[in-house]
């Protein structure tokens, strides 16, 4: 699971628990200017993942780490599809972050509010 927060104009994604081992990441920090948007999307886990490098994938159980598909790099950390959030990025190493959070609607609202001009 991941914890999403906003700090000093950046989207911070903290990977928690054993997901750190499976995803081979502890933290991602992305400028908000590179965040295009976020959506709660439980159906995303049914989409093709591409090939993993590095990461973990046990279909139906866990998708974690870096995956490559269609020339894009996507970061995954999902065990429970009902709690999946997709964050679309631009000008970043990853094209998308797909992470499990405790409250998808709250995470999406946090990101969308932070993107609004002050």
Angle at 34 between CA 66 and CA 36, to 5 degrees: 90
Tokens of 99: 């992470």
Q: What is the mean pLDDT of residues 77-89?
A: 96
Say whether pLDDT at 118 is over 80: no
- Dihedral angle, C-alpha 75, 78, 83, 85, nearest 10 °: 10
- 8 A C-beta contact, residue 2 and residue 15: yes
This prediction has a pTM of 0.94
- 8 A C-beta contact, residue 11 and residue 85: no
Q: What is the mean pLDDT of residues 7-16?
A: 96
Tokens of 87: 């964050």
Q: What is the mean pLDDT of residues 26-52?
A: 94
Domain boundaries, the chain: 2-115
The band of 115, judged by pLDDT with boundaries at 50, 70 and 90, is: confident
Q: What is the mean pLDDT of residues 56-74?
A: 92
With respect to CATH, is domain 2-115 assigned 2.30.29? yes
Report DSSP letters for 1-61, one per residue.
Answer: -EEEEEETTEEEEEE-TTHHHHHT-SEEEEEGGGEEEEEE-GGGGGS---EEEEEEEETTT
Give how far Cα 27 sits from Cα of 46, 59, 67, 116, Å: 25, 24, 17, 24
Look at residues 10, 12, 11, 20 and name the one whose alpha carbon lies nearest to residue 77. Answer: 20
């Amino acid at each position: 699971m991941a914890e999403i927060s906003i700090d000093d104009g950046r989207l911070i994604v903290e990977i928690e628990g054993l997901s750190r081992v499976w995803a081979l990441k502890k933290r991602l920090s992305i400028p908000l200017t590179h965040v295009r948007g976020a959506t709660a999307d439980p159906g995303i886990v049914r989409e093709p993942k591409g090939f993993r490098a590095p990461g973990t994938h046990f279909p139906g159980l866990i998708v974690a780490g870096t995956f490559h598909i269609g020339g894009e790099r996507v970061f995954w950390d999902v065990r429970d599809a009902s709690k999946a959030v997709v964050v679309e990025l631009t000008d970043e190493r990853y094209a998308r972050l797909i992470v499990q959070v405790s409250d998808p609607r709250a995470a999406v609202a946090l990101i969308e509010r932070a993107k609004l001009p002050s």
